[in-house]
Amino acid sequence: MILYKDERRRLIEEIERWVEGNPNPYAKAAFYGDKEVFKILNELYKRWEEAGCKGTPLDYATIEELRVLAMKAQQYRNASVTDMLSAAYDNTEYILLEEAVGKGRGFKENNSDKA
């Protein structure tokens, strides 16, 4: 149990350092523009709001979600403008596609309905 708490604390500190504390503006933009980060953060904000906005959204993350977020934060910590634009473009495509076809449906499934 102590190891679990230590790992949670370490991961949260890494995420905060590499994203919020990073002087590189592209790192933050690329991190928040990442499709997987976007999905996880949406879920965390839902949990946080359901709990009455106590603590921070990261307090409601599973250890697996924290690991993914920390890995992504590390991946983008030295991001360039190209990395930021790539992450944002990929996420924008995902969001637009999800809105167009609905959650849980793939693009191919939607097009096959019209064929």
CA nearest neighbour of 87 among 44, 29, 42 = 29
Nearest residue to 10 via CA among 18, 57, 27, 42:
18
Does the pTM exceed 0.85?
no
pLDDT in tens, the chain (115 residues): 556 789 999 999 999 999 999 999 889 888 998 999 999 999 999 999 999 999 999 999 999 999 999 999 999 999 888 777 777 666 555 444 444 444 443 333 333 344 4
